[in-house]
Amino acid sequence: MKNGMTIIICTYNGAERLSQTIAHIAAQIVPTSIQWELILADNASSDDTIEMTKLAWEKHNLSHIPLRVISEDVPGKLYALQKAIREASNEYLIICDDDNWLATDYLEKAYNILDTMPEVGAAGGLGIPVTDDAGFPEWFKDYHYAYAVGPQAEKTGVLKPRAILWGAGLATRRSLYLAMYKDYQSFLVESETNVLSAEDTEYCLRLILKGYKLYYDDTLVYWHYIPSFKLTTDFRDQKLIKGFQNSDIILRKYYAAMRARLKTRGRPDIWFALLLIAPFNYLFAFSAKRAEKARNTLFHLLPFNIPTDDISRRIKAFIRD
C-alpha cells in the first residue's frame, strides 16, 4: 500500500449535510509529498447524495485529488466503512462522519502521528460542537461525550488503559483495521438490537487487546455540526443513550477481557487477587450482569476454558491468535 492518506465519509441520505463537510476537506493544506484521496461510501441513500457530492467536489477544482464513490446496499455504517477500507488506495485513513468539518491541518497532523508512531493503532482529536441559531440546551455540557465532542483526554498523549476514542475523525491504518477483522468479523452484528453504530468502540477495544496504543491530540481539531432536532432530550435518551446501553451487551464482554488482561500484565499479585475474588463475585452477584462480568473475568484469567458464552470464547481466541 502507498503511505498516503484516504479520507472516508460514510453517509446515508447525507445530501443536505455534505456540502460543508466536503468544503472543509477540500480546504486541507497538504504537503505535496503526501498523496491523498476521498472516498464517499454511500449506504443505500434514497436522496441525491452521490450527485451532490460529485458536484460539490468539482466546485473546488481538485481534479488532481481523486474522489471515489462506492455504494453499500446493506444498511449500517459498519458495512459501508469496511467496504470503503477495503477499497482504499492508501495505508493511512481518516474516518470522517458526514457532519464533521475537519480543520485545514487535520490530514497532515493525522498523517504525521501515524507515520512517526508505529505503536499507535488509532488517533483522535478534539471535537467542537456547532449548531444553528437555537444554540445548545443547558444539559448539553453534561452529555457532550454522547455527541462525540469535547476533549477525549486530559492532555495530548497516549490514552489511559480502558479509554477509547470516538469514531468521529478517527485516524488509523488500513492494514491494521483489516487485520483486526480478518479472522473474527464484528460481533456487533450478532446483537438482537441494531448496535452497528458502536463499530468505533469495538475497533478500539480490539486494538487495545492486541497491544496497540490509542493517541489523543488536542490540536487535531474538527467541528461537529449538530442540528437542532438532535438536541432534544428524546433524541438524546432514545437514540444516543439507549444505543450505548444496547451495545453494552456486546462490548462489556470485551471489557471483561481487558480487565483480566491489562490489569494483570506484569503483575502476578493482581492476577492472583482477581483469581480469588472473581468466583466470590460470581456466586454472590446481585444481578445477571454482575455475574456475567465476574464469570468472564475468571474465564480470561485462566489458561483453560470454563463455561461461558460463544462471543467471549471468540474474544479469547482473537487475543491468543
Domain ranges of the chain: 2-231, 255-320
Q: 188-223: b or e for each residue (b if 16 or more CB lie within 10 Å)?
A: beebeeebbbbbbbbbbbbbbbeebbbbbbeebbbb
Interval 209-246: pLDDT, tens: 999 999 999 999 999 999 999 999 999 999 999 999 99
**224 neighbors 129 (Cβ within 8 angstroms):** yes
List, in sequence order, every beta strand (DSSP E) within the chain: 2-11, 36-42, 67-71, 90-95, 100-102, 120-130, 157-158, 170-173, 213-225
Q: What is the DSSP letter of 8?
A: E
C-beta neighbour count of 308 within 10 angstroms? 18
The dihedrals phi and psi of 138, each to the nearest 5 degrees, come to -60, -35
Look over the chain and give the mean of its residue pLDDT values, rounded to a whole number.
95
pLDDT of residue 88: 97
By C-alpha distance, which of 207, 107, 119, 197 is closest to 163?
Answer: 207
Cβ-based burial of 96 (10 A; exposed 0-12, middle 13-18, buried ≥19): buried
By C-alpha distance, which of 133, 89, 95 is closest to 10?
Answer: 95
pLDDT of residue 1: 62
CA 291, 297, 301, 307 torsion: positive or negative? positive
Domain 2-231 adopts which CATH fold? Answer: Spore Coat Polysaccharide Biosynthesis Protein SpsA; Chain A (3.90.550)
Per-residue tens of pLDDT for the chain, all 321 residues: 678 999 999 999 999 999 999 999 999 999 999 999 999 999 999 999 999 999 999 999 998 999 999 999 999 999 999 999 999 999 999 999 999 999 999 999 999 999 999 999 999 999 999 999 889 999 999 999 999 999 999 999 999 988 999 999 999 999 999 999 999 999 999 987 878 889 999 999 999 999 999 999 999 999 999 999 999 999 999 999 999 999 999 999 999 999 998 889 889 999 999 999 999 899 998 899 999 999 999 999 999 999 999 999 999 999 999
